[in-house]
Chain A
Amino acid sequence: MSPHHPNPSSLKSRFTTRFLRALTKINAQNPISSSSPREILQRFRRIKVAADKSMAYSVRSRRTWSRAMRWKLRSRSWRQASSVRRLKITTSCHQAIMKKTAHERENKTTTGEGVGFGVQTDELRELVPGGEAMDLCNLLDETAHYIKCLTTQVQVMRKIVDFYSP
């Protein structure tokens, strides 16, 4: 399944490098000796964000879901920094992205005719980042790519956990 010769520009290697770098940073920020439940929870949240961030930024091609995820992560970190001015800028960027996908949104409801799976489509829209604004065709295409990246993420994280497990 995995290639024997390294491909330095593959999604897997890009994600691995970014994620490992983030993990090292997280570990350096928190004192290793203390492992209170609160610290572990905080670390868990940071690791999860780092995993999603590494994945969203490792995607080469311009994908709507990765753009939406990046926007979400950025607006979350800027909100935490509690700078109102920055939030206004993010909102206007978001509006620009939403305007671009408005044309796609027009196609959203019109392509459901005769296909008969509206409920599952709505469910899928909630799961794929940025899915609300895509038309059905793009949604299916983005979902396929999103699943591919998610499986890579899980694969790499599993190997890291196995490596560090006693």
Chain B
Amino acid sequence: MSSRRSRSRQSGVSRITDDQITDLVSKLQQLIPELRGRRSDKVSASKVLQETCNYIRSLHREVDDLSDRLSQLLASLDTDSDQAAIIRSLLM
């Protein structure tokens, strides 16, 4: 570990330390519902990244699905500013 750090100091370019990456990976882990409860030392970094990719893909699919449902719903209703205000109050 120390040898890696001294190597980065010699290069002069701002190198990113392994600690920073580990911190960022564990921060990501907390955002993913599948991995949230597990201890960060029990989940490998590559698993976190893999689950992150899967999670992002599932979120994209969900947005597509919701857009699809919205497009079907909008065909049958009449949005106006009052309803927009209602929704805004519901959401906040």
Structural contact, B63 and A154, CB atoms closer than 8 A: yes
Structural contact, A127 and B56, CB atoms closer than 8 A: yes
Besides the known contacts A24-B81, A41-B71, A144-B31, 9 further A-B residue pairs in the complex with CB atoms under 8 A apart: A12-B91, A27-B79, A40-B71, A114-B4, A120-B49, A136-B16, A143-B52, A150-B56, A159-B91
Residue of A20, A47, A135, A151 near B87 (CB, 8 A) is A20
Structural contact, A27 and B67, CB atoms closer than 8 A: no
Structural contact, B53 and A20, CB atoms closer than 8 A: no
Q: Does B41 contact A (CB under 8 A)?
A: no
Please provide the chain B residues from 15 to 60 with a CB less than 8 Å away from any CB of chain A in the complex: 15-16, 18, 20-21, 24-25, 27-28, 31-32, 45-46, 49-50, 52-53, 55-57, 59-60
Q: Does A32 contact B (CB under 8 A)?
A: yes
Structural contact, A117 and B45, CB atoms closer than 8 A: yes
Main secondary structure of the interface of A (DSSP, over half): helix
Query: What is the count of residue pairs linking A and B with beta-carbon distances less than 8 angstroms?
Result: 164
Structural contact, B24 and A44, CB atoms closer than 8 A: no
Q: Which residues of B contact A6 (CB under 8 A)?
A: 89, 92
In the docked arrangement, what's the CA distance between A161 and B74, Å? 10
Q: Which residues of A contact B (CB under 8 A)?
A: 2-3, 6-7, 12-13, 16-17, 20-21, 23-24, 26-27, 30, 32, 35, 39-41, 43-44, 47-48, 51, 106-107, 110-111, 113-117, 120-121, 123-124, 127-128, 135-137, 140-141, 143-144, 146-148, 150-151, 153-154, 156-161, 163-165
Structural contact, A35 and B75, CB atoms closer than 8 A: yes
